[in-house]
Amino acid sequence: MLSIALAGKPNAGKSTFYQAATMAEVDVGNYPFTTIDANRGVTHVRTECPCLDREERCGDEHCHDGKRYVPVELLDVAGLVPGAHEGKGLGNQFLDELSNADVVLHVVDAAGATNAEGEPVEIGEHDPVDDLDFIEREMDLWLASIVERNWESVERASRSPDFDLDETLVDLLSGVGASELDVSRALREIDYPDDPIQWTDEDREALARDIRERTKPIVVVANKADIAPEENLRRLREAADTVIPATADGELALRKAAEAGVIEYDPGDADFEIVGDLSDQQQQGLEKIRDVMAEWGGTGIQDALDYAVYDLLEHITVYPVQNETHWTDGQGNVLPDAFLLPESSTPTDLAYAVHSDIGDGYLHAVDARKEMRISDETELEEGDVIKIVSTAN
Ligand SMILES: Nc1nc2c(ncn2[C@@H]2O[C@H](COP(=O)(O)OP(=O)(O)OP(=O)(O)O)[C@@H](O)[C@H]2O)c(=O)[nH]1
Ligand SMILES: [Mg+2]
């Protein structure tokens, strides 16, 4: 499963985001380092279900009237402070928890209501733009320290006649999610001495930085948008590539209200409808959230997850079925599965994603929308419904 990590300084709202997105109970508090042990759970990205192109909605538990929710892993780690890679704050063991993340959501307190260490201050007192860079820097230095720590093994390997730098570095960096392609591209990007013994700290840092950018891309979530000065959001947007204004607190309130049956709201909707009895106070609280949603097109929580997976990681959703006419599995369930695959994946890639046996036994594939056989080199697209014919099924 794709893994999304929430990172940021203490008290920015990571656990609130996590709780809203997973509906799991976690500790939230207006003080630094509320979270010590990482929380790991399942959330969803939202897309349009292919059943929208048919007469009836599919009724899958992950499909709400054509809004399809596809599972991804979400990780909530302890707050990071500048110097974390050398043990400051709760230290670098928390950076290690980012190892298997495919993408990082950097949760920033856009309200500027907490200082660099996450201690509460007056709204607007701290400049959130100052928080932007440190996460990248801490991650870069953390990765550099991993390379540094293991460099002796690279030097040792380099004495062997069949030494291959690419291969050795893939062994070293696969634990943080680097593929062969990442390593070969990184080595093309940086200048370095042929002999590993000649590498300097700067060479290793350049490698680490390049690998970090490839393996841990970052989306900035400007949280606490409900109380953030407009000015802060504007400046954050100027300072970073992608900034998604959000209110984790607001999303949490909406999800709880929806669960209690007093509002109709699906995560990622731009608005909600009140359908139950509410006290004046509850109503006022919800109307405040509605105002924030009107400004940004929603609470931003679902948007941030969707942006990370579909835009930044460039993934598509593909639906394997066994019956190409009814779009069902062997039990008659309509569109029972959704897989997230990198753009330009092929039917064979899908077969392997379903199961390695299905991949090994792959014969051909059928596009269930057209009920036509497709070539093995076809680049699959968002919303494709595909039947895999394999000796294994
Ligand atoms: N106004 C406002 N407050 C929020 C929002 N999201 C979270 N908070 C508050 O911010 C404080 C910190 O929230 P947490 O979710 O515990 O923050 P964290 O980043 O997990 O903090 P650590 O675990 O200490 O790193 C709490 O008081 C939350 O209620 C939001 O969207 N708006
Ligand atoms: Mg927390």
Listing DSSP states for 117-151 in one string gives T--B--TTSS-GGGGHHHHHHHHHHHHHHHHHHHH
Cα 135 to Cα 105: distance, rounded to the nearest angstrom:
10
Cβ 29 under 6 angstroms from ligand 1: yes
Helices and strands in the chain: count of H runs, count of E runs: 12, 14
Quick one: 282 and 348 in the same domain? Answer: no
Cβ 11 under 6 angstroms from ligand 1: yes
Which of 24-28, 233-237, 312-316 bottoms out in mean pLDDT, i.e. has the lowest?
A: 24-28
Quick one: 18 and 105 in the same domain? Answer: yes
Nearest Cα residue to atom 1 of ligand 1: 224
Ligand 1, atom nearest to 32 Cα: 24
Q: What is the pLDDT of residue 86?
A: 80
Q: Residue 264 sits in a domain of what CATH number?
A: 3.40.50.300
Among left, alpha and beta (phi > 0; psi -120 to 50; other), residue 72 is: beta
Among left, alpha and beta (phi > 0; psi -120 to 50; other), residue 33 is: left
Quick one: 276 and 241 in the same domain? Answer: yes
Cα 222 to Cα 244: distance, rounded to the nearest angstrom:
6
Quick one: 259 and 323 in the same domain? Answer: no
Q: Residue 386 sits in a domain of what CATH number?
A: 3.10.20.30
pLDDT in tens, 266-290: 999 999 999 999 999 999 999 999 9
From 220, 222, 193, select the one nearest 207 (Cα to Cα).
193
Quick one: 364 and 235 in the same domain? Answer: no
Quick one: 269 and 342 in the same domain? Answer: no
pLDDT in tens, 170-206: 999 999 999 999 999 999 999 999 999 999 999 999 9
Identify the domain boundary among 250, 277, 308: 308
Q: What is the pLDDT of residue 91?
A: 64
Nearest Cα residue to atom 9 of ligand 1: 13
Cβ 79 under 6 angstroms from ligand 1: yes
Q: What is the pLDDT of residue 84?
A: 82
Cβ 248 under 6 angstroms from ligand 1: yes
Residue 280 lies in a domain: yes
- Confidence band of 333 (pLDDT split at 50, 70, 90): very high
Quick one: 268 and 385 in the same domain? Answer: no
Cβ 226 under 6 angstroms from ligand 1: yes
Ligand 1, atom nearest to 76 Cα: 20
Nearest Cα residue to atom 32 of ligand 1: 224
Q: Which of 249, 289, 296 to mutate to test the pocket of ligand 1 (most atoms within 8 A of CB)?
A: 249
Do 245 and 220 meet the contact criterion of CB atoms below 8 Å apart? no
Identify the domain boundary among 308, 343, 362: 308
Number of domains in the chain: 2
**For residue 328, what is the DSSP state?**
B
Cα 361 to Cα 299: distance, rounded to the nearest angstrom:
45
Quick one: 297 and 342 in the same domain? Answer: no
Cβ 117 under 6 angstroms from ligand 1: no
Cβ 35 under 6 angstroms from ligand 1: yes
Mean pLDDT of the chain: 94
Q: Looking at the DSSP assignment, which residues form a beta bridge with residue 72?
A: 43
Q: Residue 93 pLDDT more than 80?
A: no
pLDDT in tens, 34-72: 877 789 999 999 999 999 999 989 988 999 999 999 999
Q: What is the pLDDT of residue 312?
A: 96
Instruction: Note the ligand closest to the C-alpha atom of 80.
Output: 1
Q: Residue 87 pLDDT more than 90?
A: no
Quick one: 273 and 357 in the same domain? Answer: no
Helix axes 248-259, 14-22, angle to 10 degrees: 30
Cβ 200 under 6 angstroms from ligand 1: no
Q: Domain limits at 334?
A: 316-390
Residue 197 lies in a domain: no
- Confidence band of 377 (pLDDT split at 50, 70, 90): very high
Cβ 14 under 6 angstroms from ligand 1: yes
User: How many other C-beta atoms are found inside a 10 Å radius of the C-beta of residue 18?
Assistant: 27
Cα 126 to Cα 183: distance, rounded to the nearest angstrom:
38
Ligand 1, atom nearest to 251 Cα: 31
From 286, 272, 221, 285, select the one nearest 247 (Cα to Cα).
221
Residue 81 lies in a domain: yes
Cα 255 to Cα 45: distance, rounded to the nearest angstrom:
15
pLDDT in tens, 215-257: 999 999 999 999 999 999 999 999 999 999 999 999 999 999 9
87 vs 321: which has the higher pLDDT: 321
Ligand 1 centre distance from Cα of residue 11 (Å): 5
Quick one: 262 and 118 in the same domain? Answer: yes
Cβ 247 under 6 angstroms from ligand 1: yes
Quick one: 239 and 356 in the same domain? Answer: no
Ligand 1 centre distance from Cα of residue 76 (Å): 12
Quick one: 102 and 18 in the same domain? Answer: yes
DSSP strand pairing (384-390 vs 362-367): antiparallel
Ligand 2 centre distance from Cα of residue 36 (Å): 7
Ligand 2 centre distance from Cα of residue 164 (Å): 42
Nearest Cα residue to atom 13 of ligand 1: 13
Cα 131 to Cα 82: distance, rounded to the nearest angstrom:
9
Ligand 2 centre distance from Cα of residue 77 (Å): 7
Nearest Cα residue to atom 24 of ligand 1: 33
**Please, where are the H alpha helices in 158-247?**
165-173, 180-189, 201-215, 230-239
Nearest Cα residue to atom 8 of ligand 1: 13
Instruction: Note the ligand closest to the C-alpha atom of 118.
Output: 1
Identify the domain boundary among 281, 308, 335: 308
Cα 177 to Cα 211: distance, rounded to the nearest angstrom:
9
Ligand 1, atom nearest to 17 Cα: 15
